[in-house]
Every structure is written in C-alpha cells, then in structure tokens.
A = this chain, B = another copy of it.
Amino acid sequence: MTVYTAYKIWLISSSSKCNCSNTVSLNVGARPCHLFRLASTGLIPELGNLISHRRQPAMVMKLYGMDNFNVQRAILPLFEVEVDTEKELELVKVSLFMNDNLKPAYTAKQPFGLIPYFEDNDIAIFESRAIARYIAEKYDGQDGSLLGKTLKERAAIDQWVESEAHNFYPPVQPMIKEIYWARAMNRPMDEELIARCTAELCKVLDVYEAHLSSKQGMQFLTGDEFTFADVMHTPYLWQVKQLKAELLEPRPHVAAYAARITARPGFQKLLQLNWDAAQPLH
C-alpha cells in the first residue's frame, strides 16, 4: 500500500477535563476514504462535522443506459438516500433497440457491450450490482446503512444479495425479457421457455415464502430493516407483480413483501426517471 498522506484529527473530547486539544495521529497509509468510513460509523461525532463538506459532489454523476430493469437495480440505492437526482444525476441514452451498446464509443467504456455503465468524477464502473454497491457504500451512514453495520448483519444481507443473483435472477430474467421482446417484436411468446422459467422460479419463490414466513412480522429479507438485499430484488419483483401476479397469489408472504418494497418512495420515484430527456451517446 503506498502512503497517500498523513492526517491528524483534533478530537475535542467531550469528557476530557483538561484544556488541551487532544491529538490522535493517524497511521501512514490513511486515505480520505478511511476518514469517510471512520466518520460513517458515527463513533467520533466530531469527525463527521470536520469532513461533512466533502460529501458535496464536485460534479454530477452520469448513468448510461435506458429504461431497463438492470439499470434500475444499479441506481436504486441513489433513490433511497436524500440525493437530488434531478440535479446530481445525468442520463446518457444507450438504447439496446438501436444497438447503441455495440457502438465503439460505448464498448470503449463497457467492453462487454452491456448496460448500465456509470461515472462519478474519476470513478467509472460497469456491472449493475457493482454500481449499486458503490452508491450504497458512498452514502453509507447518511440515511442509515443499506449494507449493514456488523459483520453478522452484512453476512445476512450479502447472502440474500447473492441469492438474487444466482437463484432468483436466472429464471426471472429470461422470462421477463421474453415477455417484453415478444411484445416489442409483435411475435408469439416462446411458451416453452416461459414454462421452463416459471417452473424454476416457482421453486425459488417457495424458498422465499418459507423464509419470509419463518419469523413473525418479518418485513424484509433480513428482518425489520430495508437493506441492499431488498434493493437487489425490487426491479424484477416489480415485473413479476405486474406481469405474472399469479405466481405471487399462492405465496402471501412474498406477495406482501413485493408490494412493500415496490411501494417505497425511492422506487416509485425511480420509475418516473425520464429517459426521453436523456443525452444522446457521443
């Protein structure tokens, strides 16, 4: 690890009886991020005040994509904190229908030719779940913590984050995609694909039903608090609710959970994101 710089924080201890200002030297290797992480724990309130001005972004963030569920997943954490997305988030349209994602101007940024792609000053990220985690970490502690505070909380959240990616997403994504593309192309649906995905998804939803009903009054996947795990499930569970509600009806806890997470103000605001006003890709 290269040495970035050395910091000194003057901590005015509230319980100290002497008049000196007490200096704690930070180890070499300490970087601005450490101060943010330290401040975000709330352990040393004075530190939060000292560096709070650094939370103001120097430039707007840029999201490349279109109105799409993977794009929604990437950006939803930004709508769960108090950020003025109209001022601080700029949209650049990358249409899959127009093959914008295969243009060299785009693949130079996202080499797999997928959406979304995201920029925040000198930070550039592809892969929706990585973008979402970056945003959740950036604003961690501002309005609670989506990622959990303790190792145990974080482990439980990550378990369901990965369950979304590897149990829920594999059957739900091709199912929803097929429904949309069949409509867009005005062609019959591949009923065999839909049936196969539905059967697989039902097995997964049965596990979620058992989990969500395992404790009295369990509101979210890891308990009573909305977390990053719930963020991950929101866009596609919204689609299931809209397009395949019959899969939720026999599973009342999943149905109530889907209604609960998709009704949140952040997601409802995200659904209004105006991609028609997005900048074109250059």
Which A residues form the contact surface with B (CB < 8 A)? 1, 8, 11, 13-18, 20, 22-27, 29-34, 36-38, 41-45, 111-112, 122-123, 125-130, 133-134, 137-138, 144, 149-156, 158-159, 161-163, 165-167, 204, 207, 210-211
Q: How far is the CA of A156 from the CA of B137 in the complex (A)?
A: 13
Q: Of residues A36, A43, A122, which shows the largest number of chain B Cβ atoms within 10 Å of its Cβ?
A: A43
CB neighbours of A8 from chain B (8 A) = 15
- With beta carbons under 8 angstroms apart, the residue of B1, B126, B138, B151 that contacts A151 is B138
- Copies of this protein in the assembly total 2
Q: How far is the CA of A134 from the CA of B162 in the complex (A)?
A: 12
CB distance from A196 to the nearest CB of B (A): 15
B36 in contact with A38 (CB, 8 Å):
no
Q: How far is the CA of A71 from the CA of B32 in the complex (A)?
A: 36
A150 in contact with B20 (CB, 8 Å):
no
Q: How far is the CA of A151 from the CA of B156 in the complex (A)?
A: 22
CB neighbours of A156 from chain B (8 A) = 125
Of all chain B residues, which has the CB nearest A167? B112
Q: How far is the CA of A163 from the CA of B14 in the complex (A)?
A: 47
New contact pairs (16) apart from A112-B207, A126-B163, A133-B154, CB-CB < 8 Å: A8-B15, A11-B24, A18-B20, A26-B43, A30-B43, A34-B43, A123-B151, A123-B152, A123-B155, A125-B159, A126-B159, A127-B158, A127-B162, A128-B162, A130-B159, A165-B166
Query: Which 4 interchain pairs have the tightest Cβ spacing?
Result: A127-B162, A33-B150, A130-B158, A22-B22
- With beta carbons under 8 angstroms apart, the residue of B15, B30, B152 that contacts A122 is B152
Q: How far is the CA of A122 from the CA of B155 in the complex (A)?
A: 11
- With beta carbons under 8 angstroms apart, the residue of B30, B122, B162 that contacts A42 is B30
B125 in contact with A154 (CB, 8 Å):
no
CB neighbours of A134 from chain B (8 A) = 151, 154-155, 158
Of all chain B residues, which has the CB nearest A29? B42
Q: How far is the CA of A16 from the CA of B18 in the complex (A)?
A: 11
Known A-B contacts A112-B167, A127-B166; the reply to A45 vs B33 at CB < 8 A is no
Q: How far is the CA of A165 from the CA of B137 in the complex (A)?
A: 20
Of all chain B residues, which has the CB nearest A107? B207
B44 in contact with A24 (CB, 8 Å):
yes
B32 in contact with A43 (CB, 8 Å):
no
CB neighbours of A161 from chain B (8 A) = 130
B20 in contact with A16 (CB, 8 Å):
yes
